[in-house]
Amino acid sequence: MALARARRGDSQFNYWPGFVDALSTLVLSIVFLLSVFLVVQFFLSQEVSGKDKALEQLNAKIAQLTEMLSLEKLGKLNLDDQLAQLRAGLASAEAERDRVKGLYEGLASAGTDAAGKTTELNKALDSERQVSGRALAQIEVLNQQISALRRQLAALEEALDASEKRDKESQTKIADLGQRLNVALAQRVQELSRYRSEFFGRLRAILGNRPDIRIVGDRFVVQSEVFFDTGQAMLLPDGIAQLDTVANALLDLDKKIPSEIPWVLRVDGHTDVRPINSPIFKSNWELSAARAISVVQYLNARGVPTQRLVAAGFAEYQPLDSGNTEDAYRRNRRIELKLTER
């Protein structure tokens, strides 16, 4: 039985040393992390303290500059007051000097008994003269400062007058240029309106009185069915024939309009209010813009200069007819040609 117990004791495993090692490792790890945290916190506190010191120094400099500026303003404002005070002091000193001088002259005839008093009076008179001399020197310095300030003020007033004069001249020139520009723009608008009327008149004469092509204000309006199938942006043969007429009229017009008039033909695409969602076009925006671009690209291929063409898509947001009938939908589906300035 003793042998059996000895065997059982040998077979049991002692976990305690491993547990102690693991616990020691955990404690050392925690101590290391705390040390790192303390070091980082120390450096951060040093950085924050340095920035606070720099901020305090900047605030002190700002306060010093503000104080210097206030002192300069106060000194400038009190300059005349100081001069008045010094002049008053000078007048008082001169009066006292005259009084002492009168006493001196009265005592001079009193004989030898008044010799001591005469000496004292002479000393008082010399002292008053010194005070008067210093006051006169200060008054002279103040007079020079006042003269310098008056010269600076006169120079500033002269510069201000010159600036106001230049400003008035500039305003006059600007007003004159604006008036001349308005006149020039009005002339260009009138001239462009004349060419627009000629262009639309020629298109009307060529295309005839078709119900699907009309002039609305300053725009030439063509129903979309003339150029495109429903939901498509590819030009139809009939639409191409109509665009050939437009291209020829534009090429002739480009030769007549002076080069300094920045005109363009704006092609606007419009749809009706019903939404579209086809594999090609996800919205009416895309459809209206694609149709306008197709017209512009064809006109450019026919020789119309690129800088004279603009394409814009308005989707259903600029309707001619707000109704919900088929006729209203048909009128709103359109291509507009507008001859305008760039």
Token pair belonging to 194: 């004349």
Count of residues making up the chain: 342
Min mean pLDDT across 2-11, 28-37, 109-118 is at 2-11
Token pair belonging to 229: 């199938």
Task: Using the structure block, give the residue that is written with the tokens 């924050």.
Answer: 48
pLDDT in tens, 54-65: 777 778 878 887
pLDDT of amino acid 29: 84
Q: Which helix (H) or strand (E) holds 341?
A: strand 334-341
pLDDT in tens, 223-280: 999 999 999 999 999 899 989 988 988 888 888 877 777 889 999 999 999 999 888 9
| CA distance linking residue 335 with residue 39, whole number of Å | 75
In this prediction, residues 126-143 reach a mean pLDDT of 77
Q: Which residues on neighbouring strands pair with residue 337, listed in sequence order? A: 220, 267
In 3D space, the residue among 305, 97, 336, 334 whose CA is nearest the CA of residue 203 turns out to be 336
In contact, 200 and 220? CB cutoff 8 Å: yes
Backbone angles phi, psi at 242, to 5 degrees: -65, -40
Who wins on pLDDT, 42 or 10?
A: 42
In this prediction, residues 15-41 reach a mean pLDDT of 82
pLDDT of amino acid 270: 96
Task: Using the structure block, give the residue that is written with the tokens 């009005």.
Answer: 186
Cα 145 from chain centroid (whole Å): 43
Q: Where are the domains of the chain?
A: 80-170, 209-341
Sheet with 219-223, side-by-side order of all strands: 213-216, 219-223, 334-341, 263-270, 309-313
Q: Which residues fall within 8 angstroms of residue 174, CB to CB, at 6 or more apart?
A: none
pLDDT of amino acid 203: 62
Cα 115 from chain centroid (whole Å): 86
pLDDT of amino acid 177: 66
3-class DSSP state of 126 = helix
b/e for 107-124, b at 16 or more Cβ within 10 A? eeeeeeeeeeeeeebeee
> What is residue 279's DSSP assignment?
S
Q: Evaluate if residue 306 carries a pLDDT over 90.
A: yes
In contact, 341 and 262? CB cutoff 8 Å: yes
Topology given in CATH for the domain delimited by 209-341: 60s Ribosomal Protein L30; Chain: A; (3.30.1330)
pLDDT in tens, 180-221: 655 555 555 556 566 666 666 666 665 556 666 787 777 889
Task: Using the structure block, give the residue that is written with the tokens 């206030």.
Answer: 70
Radius of gyration of the chain (CA): 51
The type of residue at 33 is L
pLDDT tier, 74 (very low <50, low <70, confident <90, very high otherwise): confident
pLDDT of amino acid 64: 80
User: What is the pLDDT of the chain when averaged over all its residues?
Assistant: 79
Q: Evaluate if residue 39 carries a pLDDT over 50.
A: yes
pLDDT tier, 40 (very low <50, low <70, confident <90, very high otherwise): confident
In this prediction, residues 44-54 reach a mean pLDDT of 73
pLDDT tier, 44 (very low <50, low <70, confident <90, very high otherwise): confident
pLDDT in tens, 136-154: 777 887 788 888 878 887 8
Min mean pLDDT across 33-37, 78-82, 91-95 is at 78-82
pLDDT tier, 1 (very low <50, low <70, confident <90, very high otherwise): very low
pLDDT of amino acid 200: 64
